Amino acid sequence: MTGDVQARKLATIVALDVAGYSARTEADEAKTTADVARLGKVIEGIAARHGGRIFNTAGDGFMLDFGSSLAAVEAAFELAETCDPKVRVGVHLGDVVVQPNGDLLGHGVNVAARLMAQASPGAALVSATVRQTIRGPLADRLQSRGLLKLDKMAETIEAFGLTAAALAAGAAPSKDAEPVLTVLPFDNLSTDPEMQFFSDGVSEEIIQRLSRGAKLKVIGRTSSFQFRGEKKSEAARVLKCSHLLDGSVRRAGARVRIAAHLVEAASHTTLWSEHYDRGLDDTFAVQDEISEAIAGALHQTFTSFSTKAIDPATYDLYLRSSVKLYAPAELHASIGLLEAAVQRAPNFAEAWGRLAYIRAWARLYLPFAERAAFTALVAREAERALALDPHNVDGLTAQYFILPPYGSFIAADAAMERLRRTPGRGEGQIYIGWHARTIGRARESAQIMEEFYSSDPLNPMLVVITSMARMAAGHVAEAIPLLEDLLARSPGMVYAQVVLLRGLALLNDWPAVDRLIATAANWPARAFDDGMMLARAERNPTAENIGAMRDALEAHVAKTGAVDVTRLVYAAHLGLVDDVYRIVENAHLGPQGTADDMIGADAYRTGMLFWKGMPAIRNDPRFVRLCARLGLVEFWLTTQKWPDCVDEVPYDFKAACEKARSIPKEAFAF
């Protein structure tokens, strides 16, 4: 009888899988298979260094066994931070059954796998059981992510992850890693402090040229330009780059001296340095020379491209037009600078593209009845930019933003594909992940945004969109630190406040909600109305508060005949599913051109329909009819780019879409 007794042991299990594996496989199965095979060797090496082993693999999944919880956590975060493709990691300590072949089974393994499924790409979640067994600096860096409901399990457990600050405090990548370059803002050595704009322009142009001309990961301008003066010494550690380019610019009359040097962060070794004395009309040629030299020093292939030289005064106008908060007043001020720049330099492609992009954003804050003139201007400016430079990212992004928020998903997806294929980098490419959410692919969106975020972690708009992607994928707690850190740096960014309020309410963090609402006097009218109503009902889900949400929804539709889908999601989340589908049956899904219309970046967009933590509206089969009216069913059937919920709802989603094929789309009137 003793031979039938199963061997058991207490083990710390690390579960991980490749983020976005299905999407990668769909795009290129052979490459994905090869990438995962290479990754397996990396995982095996990291596990061995920490005293662990791989005991099971399946497709893109790996299961690791450690005798020490501390070693397991150290390995988990090394895997999360270093693996490429990015992985999701879960860690749990529990009783397991040891199979004769060395495989492990049991509840401990299952919990680790469920934690992994809720981790973000490039991140790890650790169970409270593991946290309680470790001590020291690593334990101190773990921050609670709250109670998590594990999929297909009755229990909820507390999970922990590394804080954003702790992640930023890590060491710079080793010199053996693939190069990651930060181009710091060049110092202005001229007597005129206003020439700092010109110095920044030299650095910015080098970033653009390197990112377009070489297959090299370059940290985004918004993040790298945060490090000036004494703070430059912190850049490698905070931005996790392997190499730094720094330099100086001295301008006198019609002459300029540019000095630059490339440093390896780990060893502080100067790999290359040079200085150039040229006329101002040769500045762009010098930037190309510097870019080619850097690419060569880092063993990258550089393909130069020409930019028509722009006079310094016009270039300064362009540099001053960069936006940070995306507030309406800031956007309109930048539009004025750019209109002056393109008037002075009609062939300045970058200025035309940025003008189109910023005007497209400013348009989102106008009443719908006033948008037609702005739309026509954006279209002409984007066409001008792309005629001068077919790869102008800002121009392509502007064309995406003047498409309606629903009803034209096939055209919008085509616009995103053009952006995806465009060489180089630009602000607009972050909206590839934004778009993925609007078509229901929240997991893909999170993966895309984490990759962009790693390259520009201090970019305000990128932080907001990454936070939204994390929330949509079900990782609300992991979005909060990003938003709080952003608002500490940019307290006037209303868009970030709106998203933060939504996240805090979903986490039931009412003290934090109260602190945020205390600043309500500074908020634009109606910017937070829906979020505050949701927060009130979540906080105190009485029949009165939930009824107030229903009554407000019915009153709005009765008055305007229209509704924004975000309001439908909120109401369904509070249990008003039947009311939602009754109300929406007779409501228009877009604006009416009146003062009651929603405005802003998210107005009438479909991203909220697919938030993982708000499934009530999707779990009802009537959801497909709503999606058909929005044009989503047409998109899914045409492209076969199915949303995440296709395998999550309690009905045959694809069959329901096929039946709804003939339901007409609603026209978006503006």
Give the model confidence (pLDDT) of 121-165 as tens digits.
778 889 988 988 887 767 777 777 767 777 777 677 888 886 433
Both structure tokens of 342: 């393109």
Comparing 73-82, 295-304, 508-517, the range with the smallest average pLDDT is 295-304
Q: Answer whether 142's CB lies under 8 Å from 161's CB.
A: yes
DSSP state of 214: B
Which tokens belong to 192? 């005129």
157 and 186, same domain (yes or no): no
Report DSSP letters for 616-633, one per residue.
Answer: HHHHSTTHHHHHHHHTHH
What range does the domain containing 276 cover?
180-308
Q: What is the pLDDT of residue 174?
A: 44
The region of weakest confidence among 253-257, 388-392, 592-596, 629-633 is 253-257
- 294 and 154 belong to one structural domain: no
Indicate if the pLDDT at residue 529 is higher than 90: no
Query: Are 438 and 576 contacting, i.e. CB atoms less than 8 angstroms apart?
Result: no
Is 169 a residue whose pLDDT tops 70? no
Burial bucket for residue 1 (CB in 10 Å: 0-12, 13-18, 19+): exposed
CA distance readout (Å), 170 to 84, 235, 408: 18, 12, 44
State which of 291, 308, 325 marks the end of a domain: 308
Predicted confidence (pLDDT) at residue 530 exceeds the cutoff of 70: no
Helices in 321-441 by DSSP H: which ranges?
Answer: 328-344, 349-363, 371-388, 393-401, 409-421, 431-438
Looking at per-residue pLDDT, the higher value among 228 and 615 belongs to 615
Asked if residue 171 belongs to a domain, the reply is no
Q: List CB contacts of 33: < 8 A, sequence separation 6 or more.
A: 25
Task: Output the six-digit token pair for 426.
Answer: 């630009």
Cα distance between residue 97 and residue 126, in whole Å:
21
- Residues 18, 153 within the same domain: yes
In terms of DSSP bridges, do strands 180-183 and 123-127 run parallel, antiparallel, or are they unpaired?
unpaired
Same domain for 64 and 130?
A: yes
Q: Which residue has the higher pLDDT, 335 or 226?
A: 335
CA distances from 322 to 62, 332, 354, 606 (A): 44, 11, 9, 29
Domain CATH for 76: 3.30.70.1230
Element (H, E) at 291: helix 283-297
By CB atoms closer than 10 A (0-12, 13-18, 19+), residue 531 is: buried
Q: Which residue has the higher pLDDT, 28 or 49?
A: 49
Mapping DSSP to helix (H, G, I), strand (E, B) and coil, where does residue 614 land? coil
**CATH number, domain at 286?**
3.40.50.10070
Q: Which two tokens stand for residue 524?
A: 């634009």
Give me 640's structure tokens.
């076969």
127 and 34, same structural domain? Answer: yes
Q: Is the Cα torsion angle 140, 143, 148, 151 positive or negative in sign?
A: negative
| CA pair distance 503, 569, nearest whole angstrom | 14
197 lies in the same domain as 157? no
Which tens digits make up the pLDDT trace of 432-474? Answer: 999 999 999 999 999 999 988 888 888 888 999 999 999 999 9
- Examine residue 186 and state whether it is found in any structural domain, yes or no: yes
Which CA distances in Å does 58 have to 36, 105, 195, 375, 596? 11, 14, 58, 50, 53
**Which of 280, 308, 336 delimits the end of a domain?**
308
The whole-number pLDDT of residue 276 equals 83
Lowest mean pLDDT among 57-66, 174-183, 312-321, 398-407: 174-183
Whether residues 502 and 629 share a domain: the answer is yes
Q: Closest by alpha carbon to 176, among 271, 87, 242?
A: 242
Q: What's the Cα-to-Cα distance from 371 to each of 148, 190, 218, 565, 593, rounded to whole Å?
A: 43, 44, 36, 21, 10
- Is the model's pLDDT at 523 over the cut of 60? no
In order, the DSSP letters of 519-568 are TGGGSPTTTTHHHHHHHHHHHS--HHHHHHHHHHHHHHHHHHSB--HHHH
Using DSSP, how many helices (H) and how many strands (E) does the chain show? 31, 14
- Token pair, residue 545, equals 């508060």
**pLDDT at residue 384 is higher than 90:** yes
- φ, ψ (nearest 5 deg) of residue 95: -75, 135
Rounded Cα–Cα distance for residues 338 and 368 (Å)? 24
Predicted pLDDT at 425: 67
Residue 215 DSSP SS3:
coil
Give the whole-number percent of the chain exceeding pLDDT 90.
40
CA end-to-end span of the chain? 77
C-alpha to C-alpha distances, 344 to 58, 314, 318, 395, 577, nearest whole angstrom: 61, 7, 11, 19, 57
What does the alpha-carbon distance between residue 478 and residue 476 come to, in Å, rounded to a whole number? Answer: 5
* Same domain, residue pair 156 and 199: no
Q: What is the pLDDT of residues 13-36, one digit of tens each?
A: 999 998 777 767 777 788 888 888
Residue 550 inside a domain? The answer is: yes
pLDDT value at 2 more than 50: no
User: Is residue 493, in this structure, part of any structural domain at all?
Assistant: no
Spell out the alpha helix ranges (H) of 225-277.
235-239
Query: Tokens 């879409």 appear where?
Result: 657
Name the range with the highest mean pLDDT among 45-49, 324-328, 516-520, 656-660: 656-660
Domain C-terminal end among 102, 127, 162: 162
| Residue 345 pLDDT greater than 60, yes or no | yes
Average pLDDT, the chain: 86
Domain assignment present for residue 189? The answer is yes
Judgement on whether residues 210 and 126 belong to the same structural domain of the protein: no
Three-state secondary structure call for residue 269: strand
What are the backbone dihedrals phi and psi of residue 148, each rounded to the nearest 5 degrees, phi first?
Answer: -115, 135
Which of 307, 142, 132, 143 lies closest to 213, judged by CA? Answer: 307
- Non-local (6+) Cβ contacts of 367 within 8 A are 593, 595, 597, 599
Q: Same domain for 533 and 559? A: yes
**Six token digits for residue 508:** 């039931």
Span 254-289, pLDDT tens digits: 788 888 888 888 878 888 888 888 887 777 777 778
Distances 663 to 404, 476, 658, 668 between C-alpha atoms, Å: 19, 34, 10, 16
Burial class (CB in 10 A: 0-12, 13-18, 19+), 512: middle
Give the number of domains in the chain.
Answer: 3
H or E element in which residue 187 lies: strand 187-188
Evaluate whether residue 100 is within a structural domain.
yes
- Three-state SS string over 62-103 comes to EEEEECCHHHHHHHHHHHHHHCCCCEEEEEEEEEEEECCCCC
| The pLDDT value given to residue 617 | 98
C-alpha to C-alpha distance for 312 and 348, rounded to whole angstroms:
12
Tell me, yes or no, whether 359 lies in a domain: no
pLDDT at 128: 87
Average pLDDT over residues 368-396: 94
Q: Which pLDDT band, with edges at 50, 70 and 90, does 166 fall under?
A: very low
Dist CA 16 CA 112 (whole Å): 9
- How far apart CA 559 and CA 239 sit, in angstroms, is 51
Most confident stretch, 431-445, 518-532, 586-600: 431-445
Please tell me the distance from the alpha carbon of residue 631 to that of residue 638, in angstroms, as a whole number: 11
pLDDT at 309: 67
Q: What's the average model confidence in pLDDT over 390-407?
A: 94
**For residue 525, what pLDDT is reported?**
46
Greatest Cα pair distance in the chain: 95
Q: What is the pLDDT of residue 604?
A: 94
Question: Encoding tokens for residue 273?
Answer: 């340095």
What was the pLDDT predicted at 656? 98
* Predicted local confidence at residue 534, as pLDDT: 78
d(CA 449, CA 437): 11
Residues 158 and 246 in one domain: no
Are residue 530 and residue 583 in the same domain, yes or no?
yes
509 pLDDT more than 50 = yes
**pLDDT the model gives residue 305:** 58
